[in-house]
Amino acid sequence: MSGDDQATTGTSAGVPLTGIRVLIVEDEALIAMDLEDLILDGGGLLVAPPLRTCREALAVSEAQDIDLAILDVSLPDGEVYPVAEVLRTRDIPLIFHSGHAAHQDIKGRFPNAGWIAKPSDTSVIMDTLLTLMDL
C-alpha cells in the first residue's frame, strides 16, 4: 500500500459515519453530550440536538430525514416506544441505549433493533452503529 493509500484509508476510518443523519433521544445531559460527540467525531450529522422527551422526539421522528436513531428508553414523559414505532414504520435502524429496560422485552418488540446497556463504552456504540448501517 502506498503512502497515499494509507492516508486515504486512515481518513475514511476516522469518519465512518460520513453523511449519516442520526437522531439522539437521551435525557441524561452527559450521556447525550458523549453520544453527540461520538456521532460528530465519526463524521455523522445530527438531525436535531439530542432530544429529552418523547413529545420532542415524536415531532422530529415524523418530520426529519433520519438514517439511524439512538434511543434511551426511560424519558421524563414516558417510555420511548411510540417514537420507536414511528421510526420502525419508516424503516429507520434503531439502537436502544438503556440502563433500565429489559433487553428481552425490547428484542421481542423490536427484533431488528440494536441494544446497548448503560453504562457503555463508545467503541461498543460505534460498532453497533456501523453494524446496523452495514458500514
Q: Is there a contact between 106 and 115 (Cβ–Cβ < 8 Å)? A: yes
What is the length of the chain?
A: 135
Q: What is the pLDDT of residue 105?
A: 84
Predicted pLDDT at 103: 79
Residues 6 or more apart whose Cβ sits within 8 Å of residue 5: none
> What pLDDT is stored for residue 89 in this prediction?
96
Cell 419508516 identifies what position?
Answer: 90
Cell numbers found for residue 51 = 432530544
- What is d(CA 124, CA 84) in angstroms, rounded to the nearest whole number? 21
Look up residue 80 and give its DSSP letter: S
Three-state SS for 99?
A: coil
| pLDDT, averaged in runs of 10, over the chain (135 residues) | 37 76 97 97 96 97 96 96 97 92 85 92 92 85
What pLDDT, on a 0 to 100 scale, did the predictor assign at position 14? Answer: 67
Mapped onto helix, strand or coil, the DSSP state of residue 64 is coil
Max distance between CA atoms of the chain, in angstroms, equals 54
DSSP state of 51: B
Residue 39's pLDDT is 97
